[in-house]
Amino acid sequence: MTITWIITGAAGFIGSQLALNLARQGQSVHVCDWADSAGCTPVDADPNSTSSRLRAARIDLLQRTPGVHYKPLDISRSGAFADWIADLHPNVVIHLAAQAGVRHSMQAPLDFVAPNLVGFSQVLHACHQHKVERLLYASSSSVYGMRDDAPFLEEDRTDRPQSFYAATKQANEAMAMAYHAQYGLQSLGMRFFTVYGPWGRPDMAPYLFAQAIRRREPITVYANGELLRDFTFVGDTVAAVTALAAPHARWEGATVVNVGHHRPVSVNHFVQTLAMQLNMTPIIEYAPMQKADVQLTCASEVRLLGMIDQWPDTSLQEGLGQFVKWLQVWDPIGMSS
Ligand SMILES: NC(=O)c1ccc[n+]([C@@H]2O[C@H](COP(=O)([O-])OP(=O)(O)OC[C@H]3O[C@@H](n4cnc5c(N)ncnc54)[C@H](O)[C@@H]3O)[C@@H](O)[C@H]2O)c1
């Protein structure tokens, strides 16, 4: 069966890797992002920022890959997404575009309103209008809020977000449920758990820590490094999303699923494993826990495995090894942060 794929947020970390993976499998993929060819967005208009340079490099890679069709498009602009997909007749939409980042949402919560709430509504409505068979969208482990019991089950309560970012993801899940109740739109909210790996985001700990260690600068580790995170390698995430989007994946209606491994490690362990891969010694400065942070993330994998049977489980050592190899090529002298 020929599938017409749509991916939003394709200049981003996960979206770019997903599009490249599908194209490598011989699929034709239509992708969009609001970043221009210099990687600039309305939220980050500096072409010299590391985030912009990364988005530009990812777009360049996508545009040079046969089977990938890139379109600059702001999903929050009224009707823009619907107009784009009208002629493409997609079976599957994988919606990853969003303003991401818990810390960013502490500093600038209003940056999240257009992409995450207005943009999400536009995507939902377009999928309903154009009778898209399946909508898969990015949610987040942050919807589980502050808790110290594990693992996190999909049916656990998610009504106590610790950040505005988490609140927008929780709202997305409710909005998708409403579109199913009203119009029968099939949707799956994928709760990602701290994704890391090659082409990763420069605002996230793996990138920030690695660059500081390479420059022999101190890294700030919160809460004595005892916070536990269920880190997920990007290749594993991409494999899970691809399997969940396949017609034989076992889910229906409007539902949500954890995409995480049930293998949390402390931030201290993460830093030591990263430093080993860099073959350097980290200088650690401890700081108190931040307001929007949570103690622990730990996915139950049971529902995911019920939907797709299996997915790869890359070890932290192997995943960070691949990340470091990529970083050393992307930034040989370790100066970008
Ligand atoms: N990386 C993680 O650990 C993680 C964890 C949980 C959830 N998520 C979610 O997964 C998705 C992908 O995350 P990522 O790490 O690749 O983030 P990312 O920031 O690298 O990618 C998101 C992309 O969306 C684009 N975008 C934002 N607003 C847009 C708009 N209005 N129109 C079109 N494009 C727009 C951005 O330009 C960016 O390229 C996001 O929804 C994020 O919230 C990520």
- Token representation of residue 230: 């269920």
- Digit-coded pLDDT (tens) for 272-303: 999 999 999 999 999 998 877 788 899 999 99
Report the domain count for the chain. 1
38 contact partners, CB below 8 Å, separation of at least 6? 47, 52, 56
Cis ω before 312 (30° cut-off from 0): no
Nearest one of 140, 136, 175 to 161, comparing CA atoms = 140
Q: Which residue has the higher pLDDT, 260 or 4?
A: 260
> Over the range 5-35, which residues count as b (16 or more CB within 10 Å of their CB) and which as e?
bbbbbbbbbbbbbbbbbbbeeebebbbbbbb
Structure confidence by residue, pLDDT tens digits, 239-250: 999 999 999 999
Residue 114, pLDDT above cutoff 80: yes
| Segment among 181-195, 202-216, 287-301 with least mean pLDDT | 287-301
Catalytic site includes residue 165: yes
Mean pLDDT to the nearest integer, 173-201 = 98
CATH number at residue 102: 3.40.50.720
Task: State the Cα angle at 239 between 4 and 274, rounded to 5°.
Answer: 140
Residue 221 resides in a domain: no
Q: What is the mean pLDDT of residues 131-155?
A: 94
Average pLDDT, the chain: 95
pLDDT at 294: 80
Which domain, by its residues, includes 14? 5-193+233-261+298-311
Residue 208 lies in a domain: no
Domain assignment of residue 81, yes or no: yes
What pTM does this model have?
0.97
**Can you tell me the mean pLDDT for 193-220?**
96
pLDDT band at 1 (very low <50, low <70, confident <90, very high): low
Any domain includes 292: no
pLDDT of residue 60: 98
The predicted-structure confidence for 6-60, as pLDDT tens digits, reads as follows 999 999 999 999 999 999 999 999 999 999 999 999 999 999 999 999 999 999 9
152 inside domain: yes
* 29 located within any domain: yes
165, 179, 196, 207: which is the annotated catalytic residue?
A: 165
End-to-end CA distance of the chain: 44
Q: Establish if 30 belongs to a structural domain.
A: yes
Mutate which of 78, 192, 294 to test ligand 1's pocket (most atoms within 8 Å of Cβ)? 192
Ligand 1: centre distance to CA 279 (Å): 31
Q: What pLDDT does residue 27 have?
A: 92
Residue nearest to atom 1 of ligand 1 (CA): 195
User: Quick one: pLDDT at residue 160?
Assistant: 93
Pocket, ligand 1, Cβ cutoff 6 A: 8-9, 11-15, 33-35, 41, 55, 74-76, 96-100, 115, 119, 138, 140, 192, 194-195, 201
Residue 182 lies in a domain: yes
